[in-house]
Amino acid sequence: MHAILQGIQPTIKGWTAFRRDLHQHPELGFEEHRTSRLVADKLREFGYSVHQGLAKTGVVATLKAGDGKKVLGLRADIDALPMVENSGKSWASQTDGKFHGCGHDGHTTILLCAAEYLARHRNFNGTLHLIFQPAEELLYGGRVMLEDGLLEKFPCDALFGLHNMPGMPVGTFHFRKQAMMASCDTVHITVFGTGGHGAIPEKTVDATLVACQIAVALQTIVSRNVTPFAQAVITVGSIQSGEAPNIINEKAVMKLSVRSLDPQVRQLLLKRIDEVARLQAESFNAVAKVEHINGCPVLINDDAQTEFAISVARELVDESQICTDAPALMGSEDFAFMLEANPNGAYLMVGNGPGPMVHNPGYDFNDEIILPAAAYWCLLTERYLQ
């Protein structure tokens, strides 16, 4: 067993209790006041210099050792989801409708556990910034931290982040070079027509029917405009229009989720959605207004930093516990904003074992991965800040 694993082992019981306490008290994006306070208190207790208030509830903690000039940033997300838990665990959420259904309680605990070990041993040479980010599930907490000056106040030479993944064996490490998580854009299309009586269509422009035509036409973008070698999805998740059977509606609102694994394909999708919606509407004498509500970039891992991250895993666990070519996912992750601002970094997955997928009401973070994942952050810090 690696010396770091041995060094952390005696603290795991306490960190498991800490994780379960976070799980019982989930908080949604930008409302993580209790979580943020607990995190900041722990870090101060360990001897970090702690900065609170970036992106409202974000926390950045800094520890220096030696006179090394290199600076490393490690990031964890801290928020929960607006959903009802039915995991049946004794430490289940105590707040109805809020649930750590993605394991960010675990990511927070992993980074704190590593923080404690690193402060106790200080076996590195340089500056370490630990970034606790709010509102990942809104897919813009990372962006707001950057807008609040994260990388100006705390410049980092390299940045790393991780996520647990159900279905992958407990404590296995999964890496991928280049694109790993898809971009995610929310687009709203509002169709304006002319309302009227359901029996007199010739006097109207039916916004509901135009929205339906747009929804069908949008499905030609991935099939006819995007190369078959690229991955892309356009989902029309909502069309809202009208209440009564005998009224032709003057307005319809469509809500889209748009994903891809290539920044250029992402731009193509957004451009074509705008063109198709506006021109389809025009062909029916209606008007479509297209609004880009929110967007998160493709998460792209740096090749050299991924190699480095793999080498750290090889030192910690057996080769059979490591996957160096994990499949890309069409889900999204707003750590992508940080890697977009500083591309020198990587994101990895740690197996959560069998059980329900993240965002499923039955999901729970597996406390068995606190030890290997925290040891991984410690060794990565010691190797990056040699």
**Rounded Cα gap, residues 71 and 129, in angstroms:** 7
Give the residue at shortest CB distance from Zn ion.
Answer: 102
Report yes or no: 351 and 165 within 8 Å, Cβ to Cβ: yes
Nearest approach in angstroms of CB 343 to Zn ion is: 21
**Rounded Cα gap, residues 242 and 246, in angstroms:** 10
**Alpha-carbon distances, residue 231 vs 168, 216, 260, 275 (angstroms):** 23, 19, 6, 21
Nearest approach in angstroms of CB 146 to Zn ion is: 19
Nearest approach in angstroms of CB 10 to Zn ion is: 29
User: Which of 103, 166, 107, 170 has the alpha carbon at shortest distance from 365?
Assistant: 103
Residue placing its CB nearer to Zn ion in the complex, 138 or 170: 138
Residue placing its CB nearer to Zn ion in the complex, 93 or 127: 93
Residue 242 CB contacts under 8 Å (≥ 6 apart), including other chains: 208, 249, 252
Residue placing its CB nearer to Zn ion in the complex, 102 or 256: 102
Nearest approach in angstroms of CB 288 to Zn ion is: 31
Residue placing its CB nearer to Zn ion in the complex, 180 or 286: 180
Residue placing its CB nearer to Zn ion in the complex, 58 or 193: 58
Nearest approach in angstroms of CB 81 to Zn ion is: 6
Nearest approach in angstroms of CB 35 to Zn ion is: 14
Interface residues toward Zn ion, by CB under 5 A: 102
Report yes or no: 182 and 347 within 8 Å, Cβ to Cβ: no
Residue placing its CB nearer to Zn ion in the complex, 102 or 309: 102
Report yes or no: 105 and 80 within 8 Å, Cβ to Cβ: yes
**Rounded Cα gap, residues 155 and 77, in angstroms:** 19
Residue placing its CB nearer to Zn ion in the complex, 102 or 277: 102
For residue 369, give both structure tokens: 């991965």
Nearest approach in angstroms of CB 135 to Zn ion is: 11
**Rounded Cα gap, residues 290 and 292, in angstroms:** 7
- 3-state SS track over 79-112: CCECCCCCCCCCCCCCCCCCECCCCHHHHHHHHH
b/e map 17-27, b = 16+ CB within 10 Å? ebbbebbbbbb
